[in-house]
Amino acid sequence: MSFKQVWSDEIHQDSRYGIKGEILVNHKSKYQEIIIIKTKNNGNALMLDGCWMTSDKEEKYYHECLVHPALSSYEDPAKILIIGGGDGGTARECLKYKKVSSIDLVEIDKDVIDLSKKYLKNTGQEAWKDIRLKIHICDGMEWVKEIHNNYYDIILVDCSDPKEHSNVLFSLSFYRECKRILKQNGIFATQSESPEAFKDAHLNIINSVKKVFSIQSTLYSCVPIYPSGIWSWTFASDNKHDFLSKKYKNIETIEKSCEIWNLNYQSGGFKMMPNKILKVLDE
C-alpha cells in the first residue's frame, strides 16, 4: 500500500526547510504540536511546533556534538543530567561511556518520549532499556531547583529553540542553578542555536553562559536539516578545563562508535567561530 507523500516545512525568516514524506504522527500534546514523518532519504523525522528536531539520517550530527566534547574531556563522568532530549539520542551517546552510572533525563513532554520510542527507534535504540537511564516527566527549571549542590558531573541541555516553555532554559537563573548543582569541576553543555539563522539567540546564549561560568567554548558544526545548516553547542565549566583534552580512558572506542564526531573533528569545530560572531562578542 502506498501512502501520500507530502512536504513538511520548517518556515524560518521567509525560507522553507522541507522534507517530503508520509505523515505517521500529527498530534497535539499538552505542550506542542508533534509531527513525525517517514521519508525516503532521511528515515523518520520529528518536528515540534513547526521546527525540525531530528531525523534518523542526521541526528548524529547533533547528538554526538552535544555529548562527546563534554564526556571525552572528563575523567569520570558518573552522574549525568539531560534536560530535554526526549527522543533518546543524547542518552544513547552518554550510555556508551562505561563510567556513566546514572542519567536523569528530564523531559517536560511525555508524549515526545512515547512517540520517539515508537517511531524513532534508531535514535533512542537500546538506551530506553538501560537501567542507568531514569526518566522524569518534569519541567527542567523545577528539576534543577530541587537538586542539592555539587551533585552532577555533567549537565547537557538538549532543548528546542527558545520560545514559550523552553525560554527558561536559556535564562541566567537556569544557568546559575546548573552551576550550583554541578560538581566543582563539572561540565555544562547546551545546544546554542545557529550563528546564522538564530544569531541573536546564539549571541545571548554565549553571553549568558559567560556571565555564569568562568570557562566557556563554542563548537560549530552542521545539522543539515536545521535552518541554514550551521549549528553550535556551548560548553562551560567553573574550573580550568580544556574541552579538547582527552581525559576519558578508551576514548578511541567511543570515537570508533561515532558516525560524525572524532577528536580531530571537534578540534576544528572549536576553532570555527565565524568572524561576525567574534566581532560582536569582542565589543
Q: Residues in the site for ligand SPD, rule: CB under 6 A?
A: 51, 53-54, 62, 85, 87, 89-90, 158, 160-161, 191, 226
Name the minimum Å distance from CB 17 to ligand SPD. 9
- Residue nearest ligand SPD, Cβ-based: 53
- Given the residues 49, 158, 238, 242, select the one marked as catalytic: 158
E-strand ranges in 159-237 read: 182-191, 215-222, 230-237
181 and 220 in contact (C-beta within 8 Å)? no
For ligand SPD, the closer of residues 85 and 195 by Cβ is 85
Q: Is 158 a catalytic residue?
A: yes
For ligand SPD, the closer of residues 220 and 241 by Cβ is 220
Query: Looking up cell 559567560, which residue turns up?
Result: 210
For ligand SPD, the closer of residues 158 and 177 by Cβ is 158
| Angle, CA of 141, 114 and 80, to the nearest 5° | 45
**Sequence-distant contacts of 265-272: CB under 8 A, at least 24 apart:** 265/221, 266/65, 266/68, 266/69, 266/219, 269/65, 269/219, 269/220, 269/221, 270/69, 270/217, 270/218, 270/219, 270/243, 270/244, 272/219, 272/220, 272/221
For ligand SPD, the closer of residues 174 and 241 by Cβ is 174
Name the minimum Å distance from CB 130 to ligand SPD. 17
Name the minimum Å distance from CB 94 to ligand SPD. 12
Cell readout for 230 is 550551521
Name the minimum Å distance from CB 75 to ligand SPD. 26
Q: Catalogue the active-site residues.
A: 158
